């Protein structure tokens, strides 16, 4: 993977938390409301509210998540 595209560990961990939360849904196109995604991360001991917001911004900027209306969705990968 390209060094520019590599996520810092805190963002990679946030992506794992979000993927696990969305992965249990019936429709894989479902996402989480942005506020719910932020709250989910903030509930984790590793993140404050501002850390959660920063992780979501970083994941969005790196193309790992995207938004449809107010839903956070995980970008599909080949892995």
Question: For position 6, what pLDDT does the model report?
Answer: 86
**Domain boundary assignment for the chain:** 3-74
**In CATH terms, is domain 3-74 a member of 1.10.10.10?**
yes
Strands in 32-33's sheet, in edge-to-edge order, are: 32-33, 71-74, 65-68
pLDDT in tens, the chain (79 residues): 454 578 999 999 999 999 999 875 545 567 899 999 999 999 999 999 999 999 999 999 999 999 999 999 999 877 6
Confidence (pLDDT) at 27: 55
């Amino acid at each position: 993977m390209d060094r520019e595209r590599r996520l810092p560990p805190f963002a990679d961990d946030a992506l794992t938390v979000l993927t696990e939360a969305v992965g249990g849904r019936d429709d894989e196109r479902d996402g989480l409301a942005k506020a719910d995604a932020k709250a989910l991360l903030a509930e984790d001991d590793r993140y404050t509210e501002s850390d959660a917001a920063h992780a979501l911004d970083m994941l969005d900027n790196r193309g790992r998540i995207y938004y449809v209306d107010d839903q956070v969705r995980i970008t599909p990968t080949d892995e």
